[in-house]
Every structure is written in C-alpha cells, then in structure tokens.
Amino acid sequence: MRAESGSEPHYVDERSGATYPIDDPRWCGDDGAPLTVSALPGITREQVDTGARSLWRYRAALPVRIDAPVSLGEGCTPLVEKSWGEDRILFKLEWFSPTGSFKDRGTSVMISLLAQRGVREVIEDSSGNGGASVSAYCAAAGIRARILTPATTSPAKVLQSRAYGAEVQLVPGDRGATAAEALRQSAHTYYASHNWHPFFLQGTKTLAYELWEDLSFTAPDAVVTVAGAGSTVLGCDLGFSELLTAGQIARRPRLLVAQPAHCAPLHAAFRAGTETPVPSLHAPTIAEGTAIREPVRFPEVLRAIRRSDGDMAAIPEDAIATAVRRLAAIGLYAEPTSATAAAAIEVFRARGAIRPGETTVVLLTGSGLKATPTMTELFAPEGDER
C-alpha cells in the first residue's frame, strides 16, 4: 500500500489498508496490527547534512521534522573491508554505537519523536539490547523507562538498563509472556517498543542511507544480515526503497538473511513459499538476540526479502560458533547473534547469491562485549579449570 504521491506522511496498516494521522500518539492500528509510515520520497545527496556526525545527517529523510534530536552519537559506523575465504567482504560495524548495538539507530529516532510529543514515561519489553538502548535514550531525554524482561533473564543482561536508571520489571514465564504483559500495560503507559513502533524502523532505515554514502552514493549489490524480528531487513528495505524512488540508486540490493537453525521461523516460511508461519524448530541458540518465535512483522520481512530478489539461510550452532572465532581472528569481536550473518556468507556464496566481483556488505550488529558469558564459553582455553 503506497500513499498517493504528494500526500502528507501518515501511518498505514499495510494489512488492512487503514490509515491514521502521523500526529496520533499510536504505535499500532485500531485492530492491533503493526503500522508503517506511508511511502516517502527519499532524499538526494545534497540533502545530507554533512555537518552532523550521527544518523541525524539523514534527518531530511524522516517523515516528521524533529527539532531537538535525542542523540548519543549513533550512526556513522565504520565499513571495513576484509578477506573472507575467497571473497572481499565489507563489514559494517554497527557495534560502534552508544549502547553497543545497532538498535540505537531506531531508538534515537523513536525516542526523539516521543520526547517532542511530550511523552514522559514509556515501557519496553526486551531481554537484552533493545531494553538497554531504550533505557539509554530515555535517560538522555529525561523520560522514565520501565523495561519488562522475563524473570529468568540473568542480572548481568539487565545491568545496563538499570545503570541508565530504567526500572526493570521481571515477568514470570517466557519471552512471549513478557510481550503479553507489555501489551497489557500499554493501556496506561506509552509502549516504546523496538518491535512495534513505526519510527524505530525510520531510524533503522538510516543504515541504507549510510551504506549509500559510504559507497560514494551507490548501493551495494547485496546486504547480508541476521534476522530475529527483522528490523535490519525492514530498515534496509525502507531506506533503499526511498533511494530508488528518489532516483539515487539504480537497483535494490539483494537482502540475504540468516537465522540460527535453532530458531528460524522466517526461514521456514521463506522456503515454504508462504508469508505465514509454518511449523519449525525452536531450541536454545547462542545467537540469543534472534531467538524470536513470532516476529511482529512476519509477512513484511518476507516480502522485503523477496522483493529484493534476496535469499535466506538457516545456520547451525557450530557454524555460528566458528564464525565468531573466525571474525575475532581477523580483529572483529562480534557477539554470536551478529556473527550469524558472517556464518551465512559461505552458504550464500555456494548458492550464487553472493557473487565474486560484486559489492557485498555484512552487517555486524552487536559487540562481543555484550555477550561475555557466551564469549567466555566460546574462547575458554583448552583444559581451563573454570
């Protein structure tokens, strides 16, 4: 569903076609479906604010004018070229970010909007990076944050959120129970959810604009990323779509998307040729950030991959562990979740989805410093007496 050319930006429920004013303080449709912002015209290179060393250099691409961005230096991350087997790969190091995870792009834009709208208190549900990111930007904005997290979450994982001053509420049951409790509480407290809020994706789309600028205002041929909820997939789809609309790039990069085989619901549906969940394995994975059974924007993620002529891969645990070690061995200390994308390079190469001589970007979304217990297991010296 595309908005009429020339119309003002508004929210769209792409499933029902319903539209809502963008000034509504809503984060979902009346029937509880996720929303996007109506199609935007994109920006040209002349509209990049080159004086800003953050994603706010692309603020002209946002649907709403933000007068006072809540910024902690997010964006403008390095793009580093490395050998990877026979290939030369460009690794986009998204852990160069305020809280150590790519989520800060989405959070900065989402919280900036909410601060501008006068929101004073929010809730978010997360078992890790999303909660830390929302907590950081709420601290910067002077907004009270409550982070809902499964009661089983280790204290170390919520330390960062607590440090930023967020109230952490432990919810009995699994990750789904936490999300359900957040939905319940959203009746009386604003739900600043990185999975739900349309402006989170508006922030994430700056990843596409930034790659375009990194590559001298061209698009890469392919972008490899890992999907849990799929926000990097959707962000890239949004940003590159706008750049196409604006006539700034010639074609959409292929979105090549990995999931851990232990939790690959999107991959299962992709392979089955559907847009709805099919039965698939759900087992613990070291790629914790992707252990999401029911992504909120399930069909939208699949549509984005297909429209880009992309592909998906399911990566076994041992291949993820190998990729973490292989990245560290060339100087890149990535958490297992993001290393899943690096593990997928060979799969996609073998299938011809990554091609020699083309420009391939692999997104590394989070720092290994955020996953110390798992990294400790992966790098324990042989015969260690721990």
72 belongs to the binding site for a copy of itself (CB under 8 A):
yes
Query: Binder to a copy of itself among 10, 144, 183, 333 (CB under 8 A)?
Result: 333
Nearer to a copy of itself, 331 or 352 (CB): 331
Distance CA 233, CA 69 (A): 24
3 belongs to the binding site for a copy of itself (CB under 8 A):
no
Select from 61-69, 76-84, 287-295, 311-319 the region that touches a copy of itself (CB under 8 A): 76-84
Distance CA 148, CA 185 (A): 10
- Contact mark string toward a copy of itself, 265..304, x via CB under 8 A: ----------------------------------------
331 belongs to the binding site for a copy of itself (CB under 8 A):
yes
165 belongs to the binding site for a copy of itself (CB under 8 A):
yes
Site size toward a copy of itself, by CB under 8 A: 49
53 belongs to the binding site for a copy of itself (CB under 8 A):
yes
Select from 114-122, 282-290, 294-302, 322-330 the region that touches a copy of itself (CB under 8 A): 322-330
Query: Binder to a copy of itself among 13, 27, 71, 223 (CB under 8 A)?
Result: 71
**225 has which bridge partners?**
257
Nearer to a copy of itself, 136 or 257 (CB): 136
Minimum Å distance from CB 159 to a copy of itself?
6
Residue 135 corresponds to which amino acid? S
54 belongs to the binding site for a copy of itself (CB under 8 A):
yes
Using CB under 8 A as the binding rule, the residues of this chain from 109 to 148 that contact a copy of itself are 136-137, 139-140
Footprint of a copy of itself (CB under 8 A)? 53-54, 71-73, 76-80, 93, 96-100, 136-137, 139-140, 155-156, 159-160, 162-165, 168, 214, 325, 328-333, 367-370, 372, 375-376, 378-379, 381, 384, 386
